[in-house]
Each structure stands twice: as structure tokens, then as C-alpha cells.
Amino acid sequence: MKHMNNRKKVVVIQRIAQPALDLFSTRDDIEVEVLTDTSVANIAAHVGDADAITIRDAPLPAEALASAHNLKIISRHGVGYDNVPLAFCTERGIPVTIIGDVNAAAVAEHTLFLMLAVAKNGAQFDRAVRNGDFGIRSRKTTVELRGKTLLLIGYGRIGQEFAARARALGLMIAAFDPFVDRTRVPDVRFFDILPAALAEADVVSLHVPLGEKTRNLIDASALARMKPGAILLNAARGGLIDEAALVASLDAGHLHGAGLDVFAREPLPGDDPLISREDIVFSPHCAALTADCLVDMGKATVRNVLAAFDGTLDPTLIVNRSSLP
């Protein structure tokens, strides 16, 4: 079906901030359709004549795109893209874009919050005081972070922002990332081997995408190599941690605790073994969802679509650029 007046059709899967949607209104060659029903059947019914798709965190399987033969871009409202069928898009020559460093500060701030909340037993102390248990102060000690080593697994945009904030607390920064030019960051201690890095870290924070090589990156073996009393943080992607192994490690008293914003299953089921742990601080995959960041991410998502239409797309934001024809 041809859309009216030969205008380009953009399907916005999951509503984005209104100021971002308003950017489309500055163009008279674009029509926009917002989908709130993210079922595969509904997506498939609306993208057949789409020129572009924006997508937040809803699953976007290849079968939903089978009839979308005119797509010029899939623009992710974020930096992860494990919900997009990358191989399918590459085969069809469809660029998949991310928003770059737009959400880096918000996620770094949230990771800092998780680290402090775990180190200082924030959630446990809050509950105890509300329940009249002031005596918990004599039973549980907290972790002083000054002089401790923070290991960043992944030293990209968010990892660097988190490192800058952690230095203010007196943490020493180490990193494991084979893709970074180390000559540009002389104030970071880089490790070539992950097990060796884990053994020296007091806090381990994950900042890598989810893929076949990173799924369950932190498994039972990795957890065993971490220092007794260490802290584990994940505001990147669910699936990077073997959650059953994490529960076992906490049961054994090996770690001080963990701070998790993302999970292998989302929403986290109420009967999940993680839920019963008082030494885990949870948040509902909301690290980037500040009011400011939602607007900025939405605008960046829309700008990628407009750039694709105009032939000015930034190649550094195309995650499958090396495989496109």
C-alpha cells in the first residue's frame, strides 16, 4: 500500500516523548503512526509500508518485519539492540541505529546509586528503621569505597561516565575491554584477562551489550574468582549474569551484595529466587528513564530517522554498518 501523497511512513513502536514526536511535525514529507500494542501480529499489520521504525524495548522479531520491504532504518531508542533481529536487518540492507552517548550520564548516575545503595546496605537499613529495628546498626557493617578498586567490564560511553563519578569517591579504576585504545586512557588500569581482573576488584560493574559471547559472562566460575565481600552491579543488560549462580554465591556469603537494574526475565517474576535476597538492591530497568533523558533519547531516535531519509546518517551510530552492502 502506498501512503498518502507519497509521504514517508514512520511507525513508532511504543510511544516516545512528545517533544521528540514533535520533530516529525517540522517535516511535511512524513506521516507517523504510533503503536502501543506491541504484539507481533499488530506490528506486522502496520509495518508493511513503513519506511522507518523506531523501537524502545519491545521485542521486534524477524517475523514481524517479513512484509516490510521498504524499510530504510530501524532506530533504537537506546544503546542496546538485542531486541532487534540484527542478522535479518543486515541481510535486507536495513541499518539499525542507536543513540550514542545521549543516555550515558543518566545510566552512570543510576549505577552510582546502585553501588552506594549496596555498599551502605541502603534498602536493608531503610526497611529496618521503618519497622522499628534501629539495632540493625550494631549487627551489620557497611563498605567504605574510598581506596577500593572498581572494575568496569566494558569501557565505552557509560563506563567512562561512571568512572568519572566513581573517582570522586576515591575509587581506583580498572577495566576489561579489548576494544579500547589504552594509550588514550592512561589513568585506567587495563586487564588482558577477565579472571585476573575479577580477582583484584572490590566492585565489578557491567557495561557491555548482550550477545552470544557475553551471555552469562558472570557465571559461577567468574563469581568464585571475585574477592570475598565484593559488590556486583548490572545496569546494562539482563542475561549478562547467571542469576542462579549469583544467588548461590550470595547464599554462600561470598559477595557483599549486588545492584541490579536488568534481569534475564522482565518483569522479574514475584517467585524468582532473586526476590528473597535482602543483599540485592533492585530497580525496574529504569536507569535511563529520567525525565530529561527520555526527551533527549526520543529526540536522538527521531533525528536518526530524519538523517536516514536525508542521506546524512552518522555511520558511528549504525551498529551493523560493517556488514551492510
Helix (H) or strand (E) holding 173, with range, is strand 172-176
C-alpha cell at 165: 563519578
Q: Please give the Cα distance from 30 to 115 (Å, whole number).
A: 44
Catalytic status, residue 285: yes
| Of 56, 207, 256, 285, catalytic | 285
To the nearest 10°, the Cα dihedral for 203, 142, 262, 182?
A: -20
Tell me if residue 286 falls in helix, strand or coil: coil
Sheet holding 73-76, edge to edge: 30-35, 8-13, 52-55, 73-76, 96-97
Catalytic status, residue 266: yes
Neighbours of 134 (CB within 10 A): 10
C-alpha cell at 35: 503503536
Q: Which residues contact residue 129 at a Cβ distance below 8 angstroms, ignoring those fewer than 6 apart?
A: 136
C-alpha cell at 265: 526475565
| Of 237, 243, 256, 303, catalytic | 237
Give the DSSP letter of residue 314: -
Catalytic status, residue 110: no
Query: So which residues are the catalytic ones?
Result: 237, 266, 285
